[in-house]
Chains A and B, each alone.
Chain A
Amino acid sequence: MNKIYLPFLIITYVLILAGIGIFKTGTIDSYSDNTLLEYFFVAMISILFIAGIILSIKRYKSEKQGLSIHDEMSAKIVNKSASYSFYLSLVMWIVIIFYQSKVNLDGSILIGYGMIGMATIFIIFLTYFNFKGVKN
């Protein structure tokens, strides 16, 4: 499969996840006792969606110019982003476990939040290292 279509697949995945989330919990307004979490969920989905669109455009432009989409620096950026997001995700899961009893949400929905949170953390690090670069 051509790697240019990967971001489009990610966007579809995010939209399906968002759809399932909204379908399972009803409309976004219906669970008003967790308003902060609702906004957080929408913000995370938006970040993933925008990042997917930007990544797709960048890849499409590179492909059109005859440049390679992946090279050694992009591989290093992905590796570094993955390792940093792994450590931050561990902290995030600890926070989720700690606050699990305090928020009135189903366990499966919390796991969904956690998964989307992990993807968001990874995308944030990916964007950061894409701008900052990796020296080693």
Chain B
Amino acid sequence: MNNRIKELRARHNITQLELATRVKVRRETIIFLEKGKYNPSLKLARDVAQVFNKPIEDVFLFD
């Protein structure tokens, strides 16, 4: 599963640390998410998508 977190973060001018604080996870989790090394739970995916005001399917791209 790929995602557009890095791209959306850059567009919204949000740092990894800020995103981690807003979705209440560790910064390492955001790093692994961006690298595609971690598949998030539905709740975390929804929380991340809400930060960018996008639906989940616009942030996380299913193969």
- Chain B interface extent, by class: 10 to 19
Q: Tell me the chain A residues, 105-136 only, with Cβ under 8 Å from chain B.
A: 130, 132-136
Report if A32 contacts B (CB, 8 A): no
Determine which residue in B24, B38, B44 has the highest number of CB atoms from chain A within 10 A of its CB, and name it: B38
In the complex, the number of residue pairs spanning A and B with C-beta atoms less than 8 Å apart equals 46
A85 to B20, CA, bound (A): 29
Interface of A is mostly: loop
Residue A74 is within 8 A (CB to CB) of chain B in the complex: yes
Q: How far is the CA of A66 from the CA of B21 in the complex (A)?
A: 7
Interface residues of A in 67-119 (CB under 8 A from B): 67-69, 71-74
Which B residues touch A74, using CB under 8 A? 26, 29
**A67 in contact with B32 (CB, 8 Å):** no
B28 at interface (Cβ–Cβ under 8 A)? yes
Docked CA distance A105–B39 (Å): 47
Within 8 A of A (CB), among B1-58: 17, 20-21, 24-29, 32, 35, 37-41, 43-44
Is A35 engaged at the interface, CB distance under 8 Å to the other chain? no
- Residue in A67, A72, A132, A133 whose beta carbon sits within 8 Å of that of B27 in the complex: A67
Query: Binary interface profile of A, 48-59, with partner B (CB < 8 Å = 1, else 0)?
Result: 000000000000
| Chain A residues within CB distance 8 Å of chain B | 62, 65-69, 71-74, 130, 132-136
The 9 closest A-B pairs by CB, nearest first: A133-B37, A71-B25, A133-B32, A73-B29, A133-B38, A71-B26, A68-B24, A72-B41, A71-B29
